[in-house]
């Protein structure tokens, strides 16, 4: 048996064709494309991974400019044309503002950073 872990993308067509089987989601919430697949949290493991992307600006960018950019980006994710492209890419998007993203990153680091440290993985890997 082979097991493969990845962010969904081109794998979706293989899952729909029956060549791959979606077993479990590492996200805290069920995948909207494959809602019947459970999450690792639902299976009783205190572990979740949220993959994502974010836009950043230099730290010296004035707060009013940051807020205008944030507002424009969040509004863009409501646009039907943008939503359609996201669906074509087989992506599940939950747009967050800067403050919410910061909280999520801090929380993720507390949980998964500590786990990586205990396991000696990532930046904590012992040579």
pLDDT at 50 over 70: yes
Say if 18 falls within a structural domain.
yes
Res 72: pLDDT: 96
Say if 24 falls within a structural domain.
yes
Angstrom distance (rounded) from CA 115 to CA 107: 13
**3-state secondary structure at position 39:** strand
> What are the helix (H) ranges across 4-89?
11-16, 63-76, 80-88
**3-state secondary structure at position 38:** coil
Say if 63 falls within a structural domain.
no
Q: What is the pLDDT of residues 66-93, one digit of tens each?
A: 999 999 999 999 999 999 998 887 777 8
Res 94: pLDDT: 83
Question: CA-CA distances (angstroms) from residue 31 to 23, 55, 93, 102, 119?
Answer: 11, 23, 10, 23, 27
Number of domains in the chain: 1
- Stretch 5-18: mean pLDDT: 82
The larger pLDDT score, comparing residue 116 to residue 58, is at: 58
R_g (Cα) of the chain, nearest Å: 18
Q: Whole domain around residue 8: which residue ranges? A: 1-51
pTM of the model as a whole: 0.63
The larger pLDDT score, comparing residue 46 to residue 41, is at: 41
């Amino acid at each position: 048996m082979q097991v493969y872990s990845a962010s969904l993308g081109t794998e979706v067509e293989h899952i729909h064709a029956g060549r791959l089987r979606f077993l479990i989601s590492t996200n805290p919430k069920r995948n909207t494309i494959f809602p019947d697949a459970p999450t690792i949290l639902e299976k009783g493991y205190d572990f979740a991974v949220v993959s994502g992307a974010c836009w950043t600006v230099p730290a010296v960018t004035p707060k009013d400019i940051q807020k205008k950019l944030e507002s424009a980006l969040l509004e863009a994710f409501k646009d039907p044309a943008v939503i359609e492209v996201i669906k074509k890419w087989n992506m599940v998007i939950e747009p967050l503002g800067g403050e919410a993203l910061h909280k999520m990153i801090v929380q993720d680091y507390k949980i998964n950073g500590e786990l990586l440290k205990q396991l000696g993985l990532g930046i904590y890997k012992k040579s």
